[in-house]
Amino acid sequence: MINPGIKAALNPIAFQAGPFTIHWYGVIIASGVVLALLLAVREGKREGISEDDFYDYLLWALPIAIICARIYYVVFQWSYYSQHPSEIIAIWDGGIAIYGAILGGFIVLLVFCHYRHLSSWLMMDIIAPTLIMAQGIGRWGNFMNQEAFGDITTRAHLMAQHIPNWIINQMYIGGHYRIPTFLYESLWDLTGFALLMLLRHRKHLFRRGEIFLTYVMWYAFGRFFIEGMRTDSLMLGNIRISQLLSVVFFVSALVILIVQRHKNIPWYDNGISKN
């Protein structure tokens, strides 16, 4: 019997426009992308990069990142989608993997910068803080869809963490309260965004490329532990794929950062890179 004090889950549908159904999942992710673009454009002006470069990059990167994120998810859930092929394109119901999106966007950025004769390290440094902000915002799409949660817990345990009731109510899934891992990752991401924004213009703190590498290490470190609490991880045998990638990305970024420190790479100095 359901506790009468438990409120119904929030409606994942934002609104309907004729035959089109607009889901909160898409609205929230789109909002994060737009805000990230605006912040990247503002920072790009400080570094002499045209705002058109960011718009053009996004036109290519966004659809490819979404496709890659979906492909990544479907591949590791192929046992299900092979039996339900009509659902492969149903991204509005959730089911995109952020690591797939990051890899897709990264590849597009390298190709884009090559053809536009832009510094890929500089572009990544500009985009990195806005990207982790968008990731933090995007996790609230998971909240609306009641996904990306952890193991069974109790309402009392969630209340002890001073989590607002409206979040706790949404974490009542399948007859049980669940650990809000989406919330933990969102807070981790937004904390990383705040730190990068506060520190990236400190004199002689970051060299070219190190803001991006710091982002990679920050996100990978947090994701490794948060992923361990989730119950919906994509698996490769007994290994959680996101945990494996987190280790690979963290170690790779750390090694590159150490190697970069021994090269004559320009510092960032109050927002202006010194060449």
pLDDT digits (tens, 9 = 90+) for 13-35: 999 888 888 989 989 999 999 99
What pLDDT score was predicted for residue 210? 95
Q: How confident is the model at residue 1 (pLDDT cuts 50, 70, 90)?
A: very low
In a domain, 249, yes or no: no
In a domain, 38, yes or no: yes
- Looking at per-residue pLDDT, the higher value among 271 and 209 belongs to 209
Which range marks the domain in which residue 80 is found?
13-203
In a domain, 211, yes or no: no
In a domain, 40, yes or no: yes
**108: Cβ–Cβ under 8 A, 6 or more apart, which residues?**
57, 60, 61, 64, 65
In a domain, 29, yes or no: yes
* Prediction pTM value: 0.90
- H/E run at residue 86: none
In a domain, 216, yes or no: no
pLDDT tens for each residue of 179-216: 999 999 999 999 999 999 999 988 889 999 999 999 99
- Looking at per-residue pLDDT, the higher value among 19 and 228 belongs to 228
| Distance from C-alpha of 259 to C-alpha of 249, rounded to nearest angstrom | 15
In a domain, 243, yes or no: no
Residue among 130, 120, 121, 177 nearest 154 (CA): 177
Residue among 179, 133, 148 nearest 29 (CA): 133
What pLDDT score was predicted for residue 211? 97
Number of domains in the chain: 1
In a domain, 47, yes or no: yes
